[in-house]
Amino acid sequence: MLHFHGNGEIVDDYELSAPFYNEIGINLFVADYRGYGFSDGRSTISNMLIDSHLTSREFNKIVEEYGSKKSILVMGRSLGSISAIAVAYHHQNAIQGLVIKNGSANNFRHLFPSSTTNHPIWKGESPFLNKMKMLSISKPTLIIYAEYDTIVPLEEGKELFRNAAANDKRLIIIPDAGHNDLMLVGKAQYVEAIDEFVKPLASLYI
């Protein structure tokens, strides 16, 4: 599973949670963005989108090198939903599923000043927006959301779910959770949702 993390996080932050994925048979690969962790460069949305393709390509090389099963999933949390959805949109034939955690349907438009979002790229049907890309992604899709997310409202998750083109699509809402404590508040529900989603996909490639 190729995972694009949220803003304010780096790869090292997943040292404690990675074993939970290993326990249910998932090899987790977490990627930093430019300017995050030990990565140099400047972090911009444009660079994130460019790098998502490069990261996906290198990730596939690693999977080939280690001889892992070719059941590849991509996951994005919060800011990482932009990268994950871009990979799923452009490289749909190379993945088996998409997981989004507290992602944004409108690319966090609500957090930017109106003077910025007046640009046509932010308008309702702009192909830049996650929700529009979801209309073309038919791979199995799991969306996990916090009930009380004050950074990216739950309605954003519901909009992603409505727009998902996949026949196999699921929306899991973690009760009482906020943007940054899905695993703390609803660990059992979270792990069960990931496990039930991934196992049927992985079994196709044993």
- Reported as a pLDDT band with limits 50, 70 and 90, residue 203 is low
**Structural domain spans, the chain:** 2-203
Cα–Cα distances in angstroms (integers) from residue 55 to residues 83, 110, 129, in the given order = 10, 28, 21
Residue 205, pLDDT > 60, answer no
Q: For residue 32, count other CB atoms closer than 10 A to its CB.
A: 18
pLDDT greater at residue 160 or residue 71: 160
In this structure, which amino acid lies at residue 69? K
Count CA atoms closer than 13 A to 138's CA, side-chain side: 1
Q: Give the mean model confidence (pLDDT) for residues 67-79.
A: 87
* 8 A C-beta contact, residue 205 and residue 70: yes
Q: What is the per-residue pLDDT for 72?
A: 92
Share of the chain above pLDDT 90, in %: 72
Q: Looking at domain 2-203, does it have CATH number 3.40.190.10?
A: no
pLDDT in tens, 182-195: 989 999 999 999 99
pLDDT digits (tens, 9 = 90+) for 97-134: 999 999 999 988 888 777 677 777 777 788 889 999 99
Residue range 143-159, pLDDT digits in tens: 999 999 999 999 999 99
* Whole-Å CA distances, 81 to 25, 30, 139, 177: 23, 13, 15, 19
